[in-house]
Chains A and B, each alone.
Chain A
């Protein structure tokens, strides 16, 4: 074994690629499957030694803006999040394409096709196209490392943020990676034009023209990128367009080389010249991409008539869910292996709250109180406590997006739902729950919020939670009346007291908040 080969997750390869590209900071909010990127920088000896910024942010929007501020100052910044996190950061992201960047700014976004740990399977390639910025889509761990570094070069060459798109199967898969020597950080260098980041309409119109003017060069770079390739094949009955990680499944089917002429794409905008070359060779195409039929949809609209396209949109490949070597093989009419059926005795094993979890005690008192209110509803949110939707609790009625527990409860209360409860975790509350609480406080809306403060961001493995232990002060600051801020301890022997307190606060005709305070068992290492 060569000494320099490291067994890295795709996430870790991105982190090391960014470190070796000379970043001065990484920003992000935890979210599966992206979390290990920032955590890897936190453990990196050189990051510690040089004090590279590596703290979590309150949410993806604040993370993105902080990274943009670092870029403004001329330094390189990496910002990481899961796919739905880019929705939260989208305002900053789209506008940063209009301002342009100063130091290199790379957005590492991890998509989750098949929704292993997510609410949807949106494809971040749409966002890059929307913002008109380059996107790199590595197919393996080595490329995740190499392309992250390349992304910083692209970012500084074009003065644009650049997206690196991972998918779960790369983010959470390990392989050997060769690293190259690191380069220095950028020195502090403020923008020469002080209007660049001032998006007053007059400036924004000028900047937008500049963004459009960059597009031919961005397109030209895709055409010549070493990560986009035309691979000729002997069998012209069919052509293949394959994107990112799906290339691995293609080669799993054809380990000695695909017999069909193939365009392999890992850098966007898609290389139009290579695609036209394929159109000149073959008229029947199979498009294989992980995530949405993003390119397939474009190709169906852009190619000369007579090119017949098959892929996810006509059912040749599954329309939803992540690809596998087997689904790709089936699209070629191949079978890679034949396995037995699952024994009938095997039952589903969904995730559950850990034994001794404080959330379980919270749900016990909440469900007991709500038994008396069949028309009341419990709006909840994203975290371990979402598992309260499953038996034995069946305790919650919603989980939509970060922070929505409070605002949906408010809207439902506006419509007349009584009682309207919101159950939200500590980190989700500070992510984007607290701004919505201001709406309710301002209007005196009758809602009762239960903040489950377990001292950590639990679902993603226990990251810092910046409001934890300080909610009384935060709630007072937001204007919640002192007497309706109730701190309770979710443990069995406090159950009756907690039931009584929740009943009292539900009866209040305004905003009330219970803070259910007890650390996650993974923080304390012991059960209550």
Chain B
């Protein structure tokens, strides 16, 4: 039986839904049952936003993931990754962009945030924004986070890449291909971090 529950987290406006929908569509394309619960409305104005994505070879009942049951959290923002830890299994993976969105009066100490992520047994903390910039697409940090999550999803990378191409087809083949390149770069990075011992690591500061 295949089964993967994940939470996509971030701040309204960061492209959370694009990540979630790309995964959910790839799940359908791979023949899995899918549910994807997402947030619209007021929270999209710079508030905390999350999507629950559930993939399974069996019927998916609840649209929401029970607490302690998620296999994976992927987050566009470091503090937002920590917000959903109650939903993560003790041996689940935490994949997060290290670049904060400081749109609030008192953003906590960034070092403390990164340390809390670093204390999670299985984690990938990396600079998704830098990966996107390097790929020439500064706004594609969400595709980098998707790429970093790819090694932990029960989906062939090729199916996800085909989904990215479809998503960006309207913007031309060159843009679509550049997004796929960002995805691939982050995926390679995450695979290098995910060591055989399955111990997470923080990607070294550049």
Contact = CB atoms under 8 A, between A and B. Distances in A.
A500 interface: no
A342 B85 contact: yes
Q: How large is the interface on B (under 10, 10 to 19, 20 to 34, 35 or more residues)?
A: 35 or more
B133 interface: no
Given A1-B29, A1-B30, A351 B43 contact: yes
Interface string A230-248: 0000000000000001001
Contacts of A255: 58-59, 61
A7 B106 contact: no
A452 to B, nearest CB: 15
Interface string B68-93: 11000000000110110111111000
A200 interface: no
Given A36-B40, A336-B68, A340-B85, A354 B29 contact: no
Given A338-B68, A339-B86, A347-B106, A175 B40 contact: no
A173 B38 contact: yes
Given A172-B37, A174-B34, A346-B82, A459 B68 contact: no
B202 interface: no
Interface residues of A, number: 51
B35 interface: yes
A336 B116 contact: no
Interface in A376-414: 384, 387, 391-392
A174 B42 contact: no
Interface string A346-364: 1111111110000000000
A342 B105 contact: no
Contact of A345 (B31, B45, B79): B79
A461 B17 CA distance: 14
Contacts of B113: 345
A117 B45 CA distance: 11
B46 A175 contact: no
A343 B109 CA distance: 13
Contacts of B28: 1, 5, 7, 176
Contacts of B44: 351
Contacts of B40: 32-33, 35-36, 117, 172, 461
B37 A173 contact: yes
B63 A347 contact: no
Interface string A322-340: 0011100100000011111
Nearest to A322: B64
A251 interface: yes
A349 to B, nearest CB: 4
A339 B87 contact: yes
Interface string A159-174: 0000000000110111
Given A249-B61, A347-B108, A354-B45, A336 B66 contact: yes
B41 A460 contact: yes
Nearest to B46: A352
A460 B29 CA distance: 30
Most chain-B Cβ atoms within 10 A of its Cβ — which of A252, A324, A336, A345? A345
Nearest to A171: B40
Given A340-B86, A350-B47, A387-B45, A252 B107 contact: no
Interface string B112-153: 110010000000000000000000000000000000000000
7 contacts: A116-B43, A325-B66, A329-B66, A337-B68, A339-B89, A347-B107, A350-B47
